[in-house]
Amino acid sequence: MKPFDSAYLRLTAWYVVIIMAISFSFSFWVYNQAKSELRSGLNRAIELKSMANEFSKVPAGYSTAIDDQLQDSSGRLLSQLVLLNLGVLVAGSVSSYWLARRTMRPIEQSVEAQERFTADASHELRTPLAAMKTEIEVGLRDKKLNKDEAVALLKSNLEEVERLGDLADGLLALTQNEGMMPPTPIDLDYVAGKTVARLRPLARVKDIDVVARLQPIKVLGDKQSLDKIIGILLDNAIKYSMEKTTIHVQTYQKDGSGYLAVQDQGIGVKAGELPHIFERFYRADTSRSKTHIPGHGLGLSIAQKLAERMDSSIEVVSSPGKGSTFSVRMPLV
């Protein structure tokens, strides 16, 4: 039995109890009301009958006949009400179960998503931890470990610790759920320019040229989130580009929206993988294997979440081996 099955049954039982309580009370009221109406109707009939035959008395067996008639009619009414309640019980149980499933579905989905998130996060945490554990164990077992080797081991462990720190930051950013932010006017070109300047040294390491063509555009959004989104897109463009290539960063206006585009000449994404790259922990094959580009598959899902909170969206066009263009669409002021 799945954990939610017993909750469905309990909720169904509560719905049925409520429906049956209403049905029984209603039937009880109808039964009493009908019985008293019947009795007064029959009494009135006797009165009218004796008034019509002023001189003749009401026959002796008349009142017993009325009682019999009353018992007969109320017996029939009772069996009809019992049948009605049985019908309500069956129909109520079926519809209650359906309603219980409908009510619980969003809760079940959210619990499932949370479980998946926890499982994925633990899996991501386990890999660097296992690498660190093995390195430390091997180092401790090595009786001839010299100082240089110990320093190399510590450096390698520090890298893993930094990776764990990034992962923890990413997980925190994904779990923070503040809802929609109050939008303020922002100079898209200014924020983009600052982010480009911040990440240029990283591009320089790979001899990548970052060309910025920034039209002045005022958009509505949150400055910090925008800075983070551009940072993620530019960082990815650098990570997934070969050396000595060019990255173009542009801001422009189209169809009543403000756009920021980051275009690279990197490895690109296969068409089949494109719909998944915004999913948590998803990494395309090319970034996992061979070249081993560092990352946890959280950047784009964080960027998309931040964009949605600003009533914005991120679109991507990519072709493997040629490059990708990620565009952020934002509302104009």
Is 264 a binder of ligand ADP (CB under 6 A)?
yes
Nearest distance in Å: CB 254, ligand ADP: 21
Residue closer to ligand ADP (CB basis): 92 or 295: 295
Of 203, 219, 234, 267, the one binding ligand ADP by CB under 6 A: 267
Is 300 a binder of ligand ADP (CB under 6 A)?
yes
Of 96, 312, 324, 327, the one binding ligand ADP by CB under 6 A: 324
Using the CB atoms, write b or e for 9-24: b if 16+ within 10 Å: eebbeebbeebeeebe
Q: Are strands 313-319 and 323-331 parallel, antiparallel or unpaired?
A: antiparallel
Phi (first) and psi of residue 262, to 5 degrees:
-115, 115
Nearest distance in Å: CB 284, ligand ADP: 3
Is 189 a binder of ligand ADP (CB under 6 A)?
no
Phi (first) and psi of residue 220, to 5 degrees:
-100, 130
Residue closer to ligand ADP (CB basis): 83 or 119: 119
- How many alpha carbons lie under 13 Å from residue 295 in its C-beta half-sphere? 26
Is 298 a binder of ligand ADP (CB under 6 A)?
yes
The burial of 274, by beta-carbon neighbours within 10 Å (0-12 exposed, 13-18 middle, 19 or more buried), is given as middle
Residue closer to ligand ADP (CB basis): 258 or 266: 266
Which residues 6+ apart lie within 8 Å of 300 measured at CB? 232, 236, 277, 278, 314
Of 287, 314, 328, 330, the one binding ligand ADP by CB under 6 A: 287
d(CA 40, CA 285): 86
Give the distance from CA 262 to its chain's centroid: 28
- Count of residues touching ligand ADP (by CB under 6 A): 21
Is 330 a binder of ligand ADP (CB under 6 A)?
no
Is 237 a binder of ligand ADP (CB under 6 A)?
yes
Residue closer to ligand ADP (CB basis): 312 or 318: 318
Nearest distance in Å: CB 185, ligand ADP: 28
Of 128, 221, 258, 295, the one binding ligand ADP by CB under 6 A: 295
Is 236 a binder of ligand ADP (CB under 6 A)?
yes
Is 296 a binder of ligand ADP (CB under 6 A)?
yes
Q: Rule CB under 6 A: which of 63-122 touch ligand ADP?
A: none
- Are 304 and 281 a contacting pair, CB within 8 Å? no
Is 259 a binder of ligand ADP (CB under 6 A)?
no
Provide the β-strand partners of residue 318: 324
- Are 207 and 243 a contacting pair, CB within 8 Å? yes
| End-to-end CA gap in the chain | 54
Residues of this chain that interact with ligand ADP (CB under 6 A) are 236-237, 240, 264, 266-269, 277, 282-284, 287, 295-301, 324
